[in-house]
Amino acid sequence: MDADAAMLVIGNEILSGKVEEANVAVLARALRGVGIVLQRVVVVMDDVDTIAAEITELSGAHEFLFTSGGVGPTHDDVTIEAAAKAFGLRIVSSPTMEAMLRAHYGERLTDGHLRMALVPEGAALEASAEITWPTIRVGNTWLLPGIPEVFRAKLPVVLARLSEQLGARGGARAFVSHAVYTRMDEGNLKPLLDRVVAAFADVSVGSYPKWLDPAYKTKLTFDGRDEARVLAARDAFVALLPPGEPQKVD
């Protein structure tokens, strides 16, 4: 069975449009690389009860859950508290993280800095030789930071652990993706696509119109875990196209 995941994006700044969300696509691509399908994303405000309810729901319904945002030390950072609530855990200060903060800040250390050592009791602290500041994991739920640069910096630790877990049960195959570009519009492509979709149930076929691009009008994508089948679906589609098409095949 496919491993599946959900993502919970936390932050008033996303829902007010002050900040463009930038972690969903990065996580989605990284997960596909280890054979995990991102099935659902939910974006909520910085509210403890809302986040806790969502963590309970998503961590129960999916094999993995990744949260993004709300792990800093200020009043609007409530993800740790919400995760503790969702899993019925106390919040404790991690001696490991506290020692790292003391070493980093020295005499400048404040109570505010020390809040960054708070974790749900019993949480796993995932780190590596290169990425030493721990990422907090509670069961199947990973608590990642919202700042895009830090989110990206932490992904290698997450992916290494996921690969281990999936490898231990026989592994998951990564997805392959191919594409065809055409100047035909979706209305004309529909009957051709319907034939390919009917013949290749194991290949996911997507159709994406491009707005005002002189090079092509529609991009068709062919995705699956079996590259031979994906290529066969793509080529079956190309064979249905009229003369002069396609514009490009990937």
Binding site for a copy of itself (CB under 8 A): 9, 12-21, 24-29, 32, 37-45, 72-77, 105, 109-116, 147-150, 175, 177, 185-191, 193-194, 197, 204-209, 211-212, 221, 223
Of 112, 111, 117, 51, the C-alpha closest to 87 is 51
Distance between CA atoms of residues 131 and 154, nearest Å? 7
DSSP string, 7-37: EEEE-HHHHTTSS---SHHHHHHHHHHTTEE
| Closest distance of CB 101 from a copy of itself, Å | 9
| Closest distance of CB 169 from a copy of itself, Å | 23
| Closest distance of CB 125 from a copy of itself, Å | 19
Q: Which is nearer to a copy of itself, 24 or 232 (CB)?
A: 24
Q: Which is nearer to a copy of itself, 105 or 240 (CB)?
A: 105
Q: Which is nearer to a copy of itself, 124 or 221 (CB)?
A: 221
Helix 79-86 crosses helix 48-61 at what angle (to 10 degrees)?
50
Q: Which is nearer to a copy of itself, 95 or 187 (CB)?
A: 187
Q: Which is nearer to a copy of itself, 177 or 247 (CB)?
A: 177
CB 101, CB 117: distance < 8 Å = yes
- Give the type of residue at 78: V
Handedness of CA 142, 61, 43, 86 (dihedral sign): negative
Distance between CA atoms of residues 250 and 248, nearest Å? 7
Q: Which is nearer to a copy of itself, 111 or 164 (CB)?
A: 111
| Closest distance of CB 30 from a copy of itself, Å | 8
Report H helices in the chain: 12-15, 24-33, 48-61, 79-86, 95-105, 111-114, 148-168, 186-199, 227-240
| Closest distance of CB 132 from a copy of itself, Å | 17
Place of tokens 């995705």: 223
| Closest distance of CB 77 from a copy of itself, Å | 8
Distance between CA atoms of residues 137 and 156, nearest Å? 14
Q: Strand 36-44 and strand 3-10: pairing? A: parallel
Q: Which is nearer to a copy of itself, 137 or 178 (CB)?
A: 178
| Closest distance of CB 109 from a copy of itself, Å | 8
